[in-house]
Amino acid sequence: MKLPLLVVFTFVFLQLHHTECRQISWFPDVFDSFTNKTSQITNYVRERGRRLKNYYVENVRKKFTSYFGVNSTTSQPDVTETPEDKQWRIKRKFRDFVDVAQSTDNKIFDSIAPEEEMKYHCSDEDPTIHMSTPQLIAVHGYPAEAHTIITDDGYILTVHRIPYSKEAKNKVSPRKTVLLHHGLLGSSADWIIPGPKKGLGYILSDAGYDVWLANVRGNTYSRAHVSRNVDSFEFWNFTFHEVSQHDLPAVIDYIMEVKGWDVKINYIGHSMGTTVLFALLSTKTQYNKVLRAGFALAPVAYMTEIKSPIRLLAKYSDNIEYLMKLLGANEFLPQNAVLRWLSKHACEINHYEEAICENSMFVLCGHDERQFNRSLLPLILAHVPAGASTKTLVHYAQEIKQSGRFQKFDYGAKENFKEYGTVTPPEYPLHKITLPIALFSANNDWLSSDVDVTNLYVQLANPIDHYIVPLKEFNHIDFLWAVDAPTLVYARLLQLLEEGVSKPYSTDILDSLDNNLDKLEDFMNKGSL
């Protein structure tokens, strides 16, 4: 458990004069004609979004990886060094780095952070759209940190943090701790895009929590590995399973290392961020004792009733090679034609505008016009999709094909036998989850249906609550960005966080069971689970 150290750098803070920037006029030209269905905004944002990724890779990742000699074997080839040796060498260097950093009061951190001070000019030409998560946080006057963590299988992750609120009188991070985990195609930015008072990251910070924002392997901020090339299949050879087995433990252990081993971390996940929690808790069961409680927004475990076009992929899920060709062999980068095919379903019915229809996250997760704040769209499109492996999509598609069974990756009978000792992939043993968990679901959720969430709820040994958002249209991504998310969702979330975790069986589940009894019966009769 101690392997996946470790650190690295707290970011230089951008001393931004955010007061000057209050009146950012977003896209003066583009925005006026926003209702005009042109591809102007799509192109503009696509260009800016690409710049964000490039900026990050150029200024942070490259310096960082070269500092640790990730690439050193390319400049001075050492033919005798095996990949394992290399991994060890780099990890040792990390350890030394931490020792030095601690003894020199973290000053060494600056050597990896961008040398030139990042400047933000308040001009129409340069809106916040190409800012990274810590920059965005800093723009709003909150402290922001970036920590780098190496997993035990060599992925280099960046975790962002809002250590304390800008309203905090003493500038120390509180004991109360939350770890937020984004969903498929998302990143740490998901939690802060709506800005202070609206984004859950800020709301939790203001409520006195030390807020950690995870980034999954492969996304904008976690696109590096100690030995695997980011363009290789070896790098993208993972699903949410590997995330649950390596990323989550590394991040949780790291937070404990920073805050002390007695820290009790509250885990809040959205979408795939909940899948990885369930996969972790049912397999590495010691984490049931480590965390304080889990809060699952739009939980995804069973997948019987999926409205998302991802279900269209399910029928091809036996033919992994074909899917990889279709969706991109490594990173999920569907060719336009494929994305159009998928989005046809979503967009023809709903007449979404082009910018939304072309974005893989909206295509897969749906879109709710009424709760959607259009002003956020440019920022959202600049950050989303942040990156996911095709194999993850295939894994979900396989589950849908197997009547929603929450199971490990299916490699085919022969390979399964080698990997698992059984010809069918094993199910995740959800009954082993003992952590107190609250589920938050919504009626119009394309990926997490009433019946699936209810069935998940009854499996949990220590359920806290099953809260159903009281708004019919509420959808999968509304949990992040809906105009009314603070009142409809976060108020309840904060209440449960504060109330503690030993609440007995709530009456809500009984209500929801009543409501879903027919569906549930039908579901049981199918005998699929």
Ligand X SMILES: *[C@@H]1O[C@H](CO)[C@@H](O)[C@H](O)[C@H]1NC(C)=O
CB atoms within 10 A of CB 325: 13
CB of 318 to ligand X, least distance (A): 18
Cα angle for residues 231, 144, 187 (degrees, 5° grid): 35
**Residue 74 or residue 525: which is nearer to ligand X going by CB?**
74
**Rounded distance, CA 254 to CA 246, Å?**
12
| CA gap 164, 30 in Å, rounded | 36
- Which residues 6+ apart lie within 8 Å of 318 measured at CB? 401
Quick one: which of 470, 474, 463 has its CA closest to 365?
A: 474
Whichever of 90 and 255 has its CB closer to ligand X, that residue is 90
Min dist. Cβ of residue 484 to ligand X (A): 8
**What whole-number distance in Å separates Cα of residue 197 and Cα of residue 239?**
34
- Other CB atoms within a 10 A radius of the CB of residue 427 amount to 14
CB nearer ligand X, residue 350 or residue 373: 373
For 388, the token pair is 């996911």
Q: Round to whole Å and give the CA distance between 486 and 492.
A: 9
Catalytic residues: 271, 445, 476
Q: Which of 148, 182, 187, 185 is nearest to 67 (CA)?
A: 148
Supply the DSSP string of 12-56, one letter for each residue.
Answer: PPP---GGGGTT----HHHHHTTTS--SHHHHHHHHHHHHHHHHH
CB-nearer residue toward ligand X: 415 or 514? 415
SS (H, E, C) 129-149: HHCCHHHHHHHCCCCCEEEEE
Q: Can you read off the two tokens belonging to residue 227? A: 């030995």
Query: Tokens representing 308?
Result: 């998302």
First to last CA, the chain: 33
The nearer residue to ligand X, 77 or 260, going by C-beta atoms, is 77
Q: Which is nearer to ligand X, 242 or 452 (CB)?
A: 242
Number of C-beta neighbours around residue 503 at 10 A: 14
d(CA 109, CA 30): 40
The binding site for ligand X (CB under 6 A) comprises: 33, 36, 38, 61-62, 65-66, 71, 74, 195, 198, 233-234, 237, 373, 375-376, 483
Q: Taking the C-alpha atoms of 428, 432, 437 and 438 in order, what is their torsion angle to the nearest 10 degrees? A: 50
Nearer to ligand X, 193 or 272 (CB): 193
Q: Cβ of residue 379: shortest distance to ligand X, in angstroms? A: 8
Name the 3-class secondary structure at 485: helix
Q: How far is the CB of 108 from ligand X (least distance, A)?
A: 19
**Cβ proximity to ligand X, 233 vs 316, nearer residue:** 233
Q: Which residue has the tokens 């959205």?
A: 270
